[in-house]
Amino acid sequence: MHTPTTTTITETEYAFGPRRAPRSVHGIAEPTPIPGLVVTPQIEPDYRTGQWRFTGGWCVRHATSGVLVLACRGAGLGHAREAVELLARGWVNWTRPAEVLSADPLALDVQRETSRHVGAAIREDRPVLLHTTSWRQVPPPWLVDITHADGEWIESYYCPSYDSAERLTIELGRDLGLLAGVRKEVTISRLPDPLWELHCARRGCDSVLLDDEYEEPEHDADRQVLVTVAEGQRWRQLDARRLLCRTCNPLFRGATPDGICPECDSQGTPNGCALCRLVDGSD
Ligand SMILES: [Zn+2]
Ligand SMILES: [Zn+2]
C-alpha cells in the first residue's frame, strides 16, 4: 500500500507488575494518506520480562510523537487503516503537536466516535465501511448453440453482447464447414433472466469474484452457486447480502476475536485490568 518508514512509538504513564517496560520503543510504521497519522502494530508490556511485546493487533498513532490516537482491542490491519479514514472525516488537523490535540475537544470527540464504530466492527469481525450488498445484476448473456440438423444439442457458448455472438457464429460456421454442406445448425438466442455478479462488500475495494480458469467475472443465475465458488476462493460471508473478498477477509479478523483479556480473563473495561485499559485506549 505504502512504503513503510520508521517513527518513534511511545507509551507513557504506564507501569505494570514489578518491572516497568521502557517508556519508548522505536518501531516501524505505515504512512497513511492523512498527514499526521500512521498505522503501527499494537504492543503491550510484558511484566515478566519488563519488555514490550506484539499483540497481533494494529493501531493508529500520532506520527511525530508516537502517541496512540486509536487503539481498539483486537483491531485487524484493515480496521486500523479504516480508522484513519474515519479520523480524517472530522476536520481535525492531526499534524498539530500531541499536547494540542489531547486538549482539543473536537479531536477527542472524533477519536471517541471512531473508536465506537471500529470497536463494533471488531466485535463482528467486519469492516466499518460496507456497501449495503455484494450482489449486482448483469444483463442476461447471449447464447450460441450448435446442434445437429435434427436438433440434437452439441455445445453452447455464452457471449456478453449480440455483436460478439454474431462474430462467433460466423467463425463457428466457417470452422464447422457449414458452407461446404456439413449439416449442423448454429443459432443465437438470449437467456431470459439477468445473472448475478459478486462484489467485495468493503467500501473502497473493487474486487469481483472471478472465474478460476478464465479470470473473468463469474456469473450465475443462482446466488448460492457463487457463494460456494467464493468460499472456495477464501472469500468470507458476513451476512445474507455481503461477502468480503480474499484480500480483505484476513485484514478484518480481530487479534482476540472473543474479546477476552489474556491477563485478567475479563471482557475488558470497565471491569478489566491495567492491560485492558491500555489496549482499549480508555486511560
Ligand atoms: Zn475486498
Ligand atoms: Zn485485563
The C-alpha cell of 269 is what?
473495561
60 and 169 housed in the same domain: no
Establish if 41 belongs to a structural domain: yes
CA distance 105 to 58: 25
Place of cell 450448435: 146
Q: Ligand nearest 44 Cα, by number?
A: 2
Q: What ipTM is given for this predicted complex?
A: 0.59
274 C-alpha to center of ligand 2: Å?
6
280 C-alpha to center of ligand 1: Å?
27
pLDDT in tens, 47-95: 778 778 888 899 999 988 888 899 888 899 999 999 999 999 989 999 9
67 and 14 housed in the same domain: yes
CA distance 258 to 220: 36
The C-alpha cell of 238 is what?
458476513
pLDDT in tens, 109-139: 999 999 999 999 998 889 999 999 999 999 9
Establish if 135 belongs to a structural domain: no
84 and 14 housed in the same domain: yes
46 C-alpha to center of ligand 2: Å?
13
205 and 184 housed in the same domain: no
CA distance 54 to 171: 61
Give 118: exposed, middle or buried? Use CB within 10 Å, 0-12, 13-18, 19+: buried
19 C-alpha to center of ligand 2: Å?
17
25 C-alpha to center of ligand 2: Å?
22
Domain span holding position 233:
195-251
Farthest-apart Cα atoms in the chain, separation: 94
Q: Ligand nearest 246 Cα, by number?
A: 1
251 C-alpha to center of ligand 1: Å?
9
First to last CA, the chain: 31
Overall domain count for the chain: 3
The dihedral over CA atoms of 219, 221, 222, 223, expressed in degrees to the nearest 10, equals 50
pLDDT in tens, 165-224: 999 998 888 887 766 666 788 889 998 889 999 999 999 999 999 998 888 899 999 999
pLDDT in tens, 255-272: 554 555 555 556 555 566
Establish if 107 belongs to a structural domain: yes
245 C-alpha to center of ligand 1: Å?
4
242 C-alpha to center of ligand 1: Å?
11
Residue 24 phi/psi, 5° resolution?
-145, 140
